A and B are shown apart, each in its own frame.
Chain A
Amino acid sequence: MTTPPSPTAAAPESLLAAPDQASQSAITAEIVAAHAEAERRVAAGEQLPTTLYDFPAYRSSILRHPTKNPRLVDPETIELLSPAFGQRDVAAIEADLTLQHAGEPLGERMTVEGRLLDSWGRPLRNQLVEIWQANAAGRYIHQRDQHPAPLDPNFTGAGRTVTDHEGRYRFTTIKPGPYPWRNHVNAWRPAHIHFSIFGSSFTQRIITQMYFPGDPLFALDPIYNSIRSQKDRDRLVGVYDHDLTSPEFSMGYRFDIVVDGPDATWFEPEEEN
């Protein structure tokens, strides 16, 4: 088929540093000012998204965020349902990121467990949960990651599972390291695990990141801070749970995920078995 001429591609982030290379203190000041401005606008009655699309401290968002407000629409039937997943879609071993190679990965072994719930606290069953992350040294296996930290031959960093009858998921992995990037001078991402979640409605689809308690990089990170309020940012921090910690084996973190969705998603999601 005919392909129209493509515009020139922008280089990927790892190859293209933000042009201005601001200092951390300048970026931090931008973050503080943006939060204050968002708070002021909300106090004045404006509706702003929880995650701000227009957040210039995250430099690569400047040309990639929509400038118009989204159009509010009544979901059609197709949007109120979502792809059906089941145990046939994933293998049990995909939930254990420490078993995917001949040897054990280096790092702090951990389990992360949580429940997938809707806005009324009901469990979302048989939904696909995908995760990906850097290794213990803060290196991604992705070919475009240029961070000169070691790759771990025993760690890929990708996992998948399907939630159970209580909406529960559980992964075994190692704690990822912080990761340097070129948003500004001396920019480091707090340690995080990427989560991709399907709900019972396509409108509930979410991709997000789980962080770790007490990370000293929180206040410095433009991506974490693209969420404008502290209590919403806190929702992305996994909770250390000693009852999930296994004696002489692994540390345990709990991370529950609540999907959003219009009121139309209240009507009983279909039962899947």
Chain B
Amino acid sequence: MTVVPPRTHTPTPGQTVGPFFAFGLQYPDMNQVVHPHSPGSLVLGGTVTDGNGAAIPDALVEIWQADSDGSIPRARGACRRDGHTFTGFGRAFTTDEGRYEFWTRDPGAEPGRAPFFAVIVYARGLPNKLHTRAYLPQDEAALAADPLLAGLAPDERATLIASRTPEGGLHFDIRLQGEKETVFLAY
């Protein structure tokens, strides 16, 4: 077991993304992790809400995921989509109704592990980024064996598991505060 040496550099603190990030962070097809017409494509979407349950129209959501076979993408080009290379990264701004949407496909995982999307949310009024995970719903055995989910109360656990829509898409709401507040993560 290799010993990790002490850290020598103090991290730069994070700050809010502020209200006017759209012109700085947008790029063509940024929410299309896969082309909408590609095999297995689906919509992953949901609403970002505040402590009053009001939609947040100026949030930014990013996802990063393994491919469906569990492999971790190492291909470049997430900022310049070519329509077929799977880079595993997507970025979406919420609409005036607080909704974000990605075109993507199901992530895979190592055998026996529960697949999930790594998610980061940022917003005006949110002083720093928040990490969370959106797990795929179906594989109950893998979900039951997941170390993070195993340590959560049922209502907390439910905030991290996406639901499958009748169309085969995935629905995942993000609640920054209040009832059913999403479980956020520190590493």
Contact = CB atoms under 8 A, between A and B. Distances in A.
Contacts of B49: 7
A78 B19 CA distance: 29
Nearest to B52: A63
Contacts, number: 284
Interface in B32-73: 43, 45, 47, 49-58, 62, 64-66, 72-73
| Dominant secondary structure of chain B at its interface with chain A | loop
B15 A132 contact: no
Contacts of A207: 14-17, 122, 129
Given A58-B127, A68-B181, A85-B76, 15 more contacts: A1-B45, A6-B99, A7-B54, A9-B96, A9-B97, A13-B125, A50-B13, A51-B14, A53-B127, A78-B116, A89-B80, A158-B24, A194-B17, A227-B15, A261-B187
Say which size band chain A's interface belongs to. Answer: 35 or more
Interface stretch (A105-113, A139-147, A239-247): A139-147
B78 A85 contact: yes
Interface in B90-139: 96-99, 107, 109-110, 113, 116, 118, 120, 122-131
Interface of A: 1-4, 6-14, 49-53, 55, 58, 60-68, 70-79, 81-86, 88-90, 117-121, 128, 130-133, 140-142, 144-145, 156-158, 160, 194, 196, 202-203, 205-209, 223-224, 226-227, 232-233, 235-236, 256-264, 266-267, 270
Given A131-B24, A267-B2, A78 B66 contact: yes
